[in-house]
A and B are shown apart, each in its own frame.
Chain A
Amino acid sequence: MALLEVNGLKVHFHTRDGLVKAVDDVSFSVDCGETLAIVGESGSGKSVTCYSLLDLLPKPPAKIEGGSALFDGVDLLTCDSTQMRSFRSNDIAMIFQDPMTSLNPFITIGEQLIEPLIYNPDKSRAQTRSAARLRAIELLDEVGIIDPEKRFDCYPHEFSGGMRQRVMIAMALINEPRLLICDEPTTALDVTIQAQILALIKKLQQKRNVAVIFISHDLGVVAGIADNVIVMCEGTVRETGDTEAIFYRTQNDYTKKLLAAIPEGAKVMPSRVQQDSPMIEVKNLKTYFRDYSKPLAGARSEKRYIKAVDDVSLHIQRGEILGLVGESGSGKSTLGRSILQLAPITEGSVHFSGTEISALSRHQLIPWRRKMQMIFQDPYASLNPRMTVYETLAEPLLYHGLANAKTINHQVQLLMDDVGLARANLRKYPHEFSGGQRQRIAIGRAIATKPELIIADEPVSALDVTIQAQVLDLILDLVERHNLTMLFISHDLSVVRYISDRVIVMNKGVIIETGETEALWASPQQPYTQQLLEAIPLADPKSERARLASAS
């Protein structure tokens, strides 16, 4: 008998809008030393499945309608709250997605780490403060925190995202659980950090022989770490099997669709770059922000700056799709916004078709704004929640005098056709759409003014992989039909490769390397670029396992 056996689990949400079957008849089992990956897109029920095991779901609206989850012979779904508390503190641990929000910002990480040791509900296992401290420091060392004794008394904000996730892992392991549930533990992290964290989880698992349930939307990540995979969609299990079978001998259509949606390989569209016809020329651009954080003790208090963009020069040719790649904090978004004059430039110049737009006043810029537009990352934040789709799309047209009262309806309808949304949806508000549809609306707004240049800031990062593929194809299609030039900003190298003619790699505010996409992929010159390219997880279990093994 396996450590955890889930049989016919059903979780329903009784909401005002009716019954939602979040998890519908899901069964799986996982044993010590094994890793089970639950893969699915948002809304597939993968997180709900695991949250219901630890009784972490809000009830109501959630209700467990059936099934059993035998952990070591005890049913987790029916045990009382004392027993559940004991399971939570001693047997089953969880790592959450966002290390920024899963640590309490007001308590030192050491204090948070030893909490489960000191306040163990099982009194016989509770430890004294000094013993707990030693144990915590030992574990911090094991998860790769340098100088753990000193770091023990630091607050979460003094750690980077990757380091916080390491702390979270230490916290999860501190009572030596037998089952570890990881809910998208690397989704919020940069690709190089992700590789490190995955290797760490793998290493710790092998050493302790714990069972791991790994929830992810990313098949590339799953390929390396999982022994078995279940693919979920809309609350049901679509396919289950060992990792090799899922990836190499795929049976289910949905799984095939997921695998096919991963952007792979080079750009399919022929390049439309017009050489020697630069649309945008950026010269020695610097964008600094004042740093108001407390200076280090002893340092003189003088004006300090965060150099978000530090002396960057680049050009974008007419008809080109230029990819801009970098990890978080590399300054890639700030660069995009500086080109559009949305962020204040400290030094340098930006020329648009020969005109120095960085020297224009806000008022003089207005006619230029029509020619350059932006697509934002988060389609939930980039649309005004109190404006209907119609209003959102009509606003730029009316404001720039591109339509009058007579033609506006028709023009807005055409925009909807352009981005592949039904005209009947015009009256709806943004919250009535899915993420992918919202991003289509945002794209429609960006192309409304018939711009020449579009800066797309991570336009597909917030989307599921199948939706991401659709939106990418829409963008490529629009670029061709409307003869657009594009700066495509992304942290996702596969996406950039799929879409760009040329790529710029940025790190810490400076350009590291630039080159034609395929040439750069084939032979990256700079160590940083090599490191980035190597860290991309591929949906190929064999190569991923080999890499994880070598990393740990």
Chain B
Amino acid sequence: MDASIEKIDEAGSSLWQDAWVKLRKNRLAICGLVVLLLLGLVSLLTPWIAPYGYEEQNLILGASPPSAEHWLGTDIFGRDMLTRIMYGGRVSLTVGLIATAVALMIGVLWGATAGFVGGRVDAVMMRLVDILYALPFMIFIVLLMVVFGRNIFLLFFAIGAVEWLTMARIVRGQVMTLRKQEFVEAAYSLGLSQWTIIRRHIIPNTLGPVIVYTTLTIPSVMLLEAFLSFLGLGIQPPQSSWGLLISYGVETMEEFPWLLIFPGLTLSITLFALNFLGDGLRDALDPRTSKD
């Protein structure tokens, strides 16, 4: 009897616990996770560990290639690239995190509700998505900036508010096929409330595509921020972000290639890590992939 009770305690574990067990066995995904955690940690500690100040100029030095003093070289104002990349990471990672979280929240809830309720509600909700799609997002963001003033968090939010549209469509499509499945009807006949059904039976089954799309959203959000900053709508020099560093690096790529290579490399490593982690998560959250 004792033995069987022990078994049950184990049985209490859920999808997420099982997923964690499986994820730990996926070496690539764990590498990705470690890289991302390291990047996050460095960004957090940047003000204390950065070798130079981010606006510390050395006009006499100018753009210099990597050296013992400046490991990743300096830009045309003689500012240390390593420092600027570290500070840039703070902005880029935050924008990736916040904007994607916003997109994820709105998109999944919106899409799940529209797909689940269906009928007129669905039609109205999705037409709204269509309208927002048709609206040039630049105008949308400029409008937000004008009304609320320039604020970096508002910017993050605005980007998220643009990126959720595709997410909503993906989730809606998934939910529409799911809600006709018998296990959802079974949940109905058990007397579960609609919200419980969405939360427990629908959303977990949409996770696969959602995770994949999320890992695609994070880089596009980072690049969007760079684009907006480049236009003067985002953050302003001397502040920096990876996207901004890359776009300045592109301008001088022939004379000073290190200004492009190092921020580009950092971004690429981040994206690789994200994708490995995303793929790992997708597999881990699918009970049909084997546990070993």
List A residues at the B interface (Cβ < 8 Å): 16-17, 337, 340, 342, 365-370, 372-374, 376-378, 381-391, 395-396, 399-400, 409, 412-413, 423-424, 426-427, 429, 431, 442, 445, 449
Contact = CB atoms under 8 A, between A and B. Distances in A.
Contacts of B7: 423-424, 426-427
B11 A426 contact: yes
Q: How large is the interface on B (under 10, 10 to 19, 20 to 34, 35 or more residues)?
A: 35 or more
A391 B205 contact: no
Contacts of B11: 388-390, 409, 412, 426-427
A387 B189 contact: no
Interface string B230-242: 0000000000000
18 contacts: A17-B290, A342-B189, A366-B193, A368-B191, A374-B186, A374-B189, A376-B185, A377-B182, A381-B182, A382-B185, A383-B183, A386-B287, A387-B200, A391-B14, A395-B190, A396-B190, A400-B190, A442-B186
B283 to A, nearest CB: 13
Given A381-B182, A382-B182, A429-B288, A373 B190 contact: yes
A488 to B, nearest CB: 16
A426 B288 CA distance: 16
B287 A429 contact: yes
B186 A386 contact: no
Contacts of B193: 366
Interface SS of B by simple majority: helix
A366 B191 contact: yes
B290 A399 contact: no
Contacts of A423: 4, 7-8
A373 B190 CA distance: 7
Interface pairs A-B: 5 shortest CB-CB: A369-B191, A429-B287, A382-B182, A426-B11, A409-B8
A370 B14 contact: no
Nearest to A455: B189
Interface in B252-292: 285-288, 290
Nearest to B189: A374
B8 A445 contact: no
Nearest to B178: A384
B287 A412 contact: no
Nearest to A388: B11
A469 B8 CA distance: 30
Given A399-B196, A427-B7, A381 B14 contact: no
A400 B189 CA distance: 12
B69 interface: no
Given A381-B181, A395-B200, A412 B8 contact: yes
Contact of B192 (A367, A399, A412, A424): A399
A16 to B, nearest CB: 8
Contact of B191 (A370, A377, A382, A388): A370
A413 B15 CA distance: 20
Contacts of B205: 384-386
A365 to B, nearest CB: 7
B139 interface: no
Nearest to A386: B204
Centre residue among B187, B190, B207, B286 by max chain A CB count within 10 A: B190
A449 B189 CA distance: 11
A384 B183 contact: yes
A366 B193 CA distance: 9
Contact of A400 (B4, B5, B191): B191
A424 B4 CA distance: 7
Interface in B45-60: none
A399 B288 contact: no
